A and B are shown apart, each in its own frame.
Chain A
Amino acid sequence: EIVLTQSPATLSLSPGERATLSCRAGQSVSSYLAWYQQKPGQAPRLLIYDASNRATGIPARFSGSGSGTDFTLTISSLEPEDFAVYYCQQRSGWLRAFGGGTKVEIK
């Protein structure tokens, strides 16, 4: 089973600042890593797939990078609507495991 570890657990930032979220896999997942955004009471929303590809309709301020075991989601300049919880997920193995999440909160 591939375990995904996200850090930090909470990120306190102000609108306009840059957010950098990390996801580390216990073993290589190649580029089969996705990122989701979730707001309270809503289903997760796919942001990034296969490590660096933005999903349909996702603003360019969201970018993903990495391969193997270390991945990063970057939000270049936080908008008020970006304050939410972010999850990474791998699909390298048959388990579609999720990371524990990073909450991006308003400082």
Chain B
Amino acid sequence: EVQLVESGGGLVQPGGSLRLSCAASGFTFSSYSLNWVRQAPGKGLEWVSYISIGSSTIYYADSVKGRFTISRDNAKKSLYLQMNSLRDEDTAVYYCARDESSSSPSIPFDYWGQGTLVTVSS
């Protein structure tokens, strides 16, 4: 069974940092690109970042560029999001989501984690 489990959320002051993790199981992690998506309270979905299978291609939404860093450890089957210089508007539930596979037919965003809540407040 494919599973994505996020962790690392919590309360942080404006200007602070937080590192989110997404632990994967049930599929060949190293063959899939991955994403982070967030959702502010009562708002819609916002794509945050993308990382390719070998980390050679990385994209960010303009709203987080220069402050957030996506990374992955294929040996640990884990995806990360390092968030620095956090702002009130970064308050959201953060989801990791599977993208495409490099080795087999796949459907982007077919699996999502349950999300982890990040609250930025003083």
Are B112 and A96 in contact, CB atoms less than 8 angstroms apart?
A: no
Q: Which of A44, A99, A101 contacts B112 (CB 8 A)?
A: A44
Number of A-B contacts (CB under 8 A): 56
Q: Which of B107, B113, B115 has the most CB of A within 10 A?
A: B107
Q: B50 and A96: CB pair below 8 A?
A: yes
Neighbouring B residues of A87 by C-beta, 8 Å:
44-45
A98 to B112, CA, bound (A): 15
Looking across the interface, which residue of chain A has its beta carbon closest to that of B113? A43
Chain B residues with Cβ under 8 A from A101's Cβ? 44-45
B109: contacting residue among A1, A46, A94, CB under 8 A: A46
Is A49 within 8 A of B44, CB to CB? Answer: no
| Bound CA–CA A45/B35 (angstroms) | 15
Contact B47 A97 (CB under 8 A): yes
Complex interface residues of chain B between 34 and 87 (CB less than 8 A to chain A) = 35, 37, 44-47, 50, 59, 61-62
Chain A residues positioned under 8 Å from B109 (CB to CB): 34, 36, 44, 46, 49, 89, 96
**Contact status of A96 and B47, CB under 8 A, knowing A43-B113, A46-B110:** yes
B95 at the interface (CB under 8 A from A): yes
A46 to B108, CA, bound (A): 9
Please give, as numbers and ranges, the residues of chain B lying within 8 Å of A91 by CB-CB distance. 108
Query: Hey, what's the 0/1 contact readout for A68-90 against B, CB within 8 Å counting as 1?
Result: 00000000000000000101010
B95 near A46 with CB under 8 A, answer no
Decide if A56 touches B110 in the complex (CB within 8 Å). yes
- B-side residues, CB < 8 A to A, are 35, 37, 44-47, 50, 59, 61-62, 95, 99, 107-110, 112-115
Q: List 23 A-B contacts (CB under 8 A).
A: A34-B108, A34-B109, A36-B109, A38-B45, A43-B113, A43-B114, A43-B115, A44-B37, A44-B109, A46-B107, A46-B109, A49-B108, A49-B109, A87-B45, A91-B108, A94-B50, A95-B59, A95-B61, A96-B35, A96-B37, A96-B50, A98-B44, A98-B47
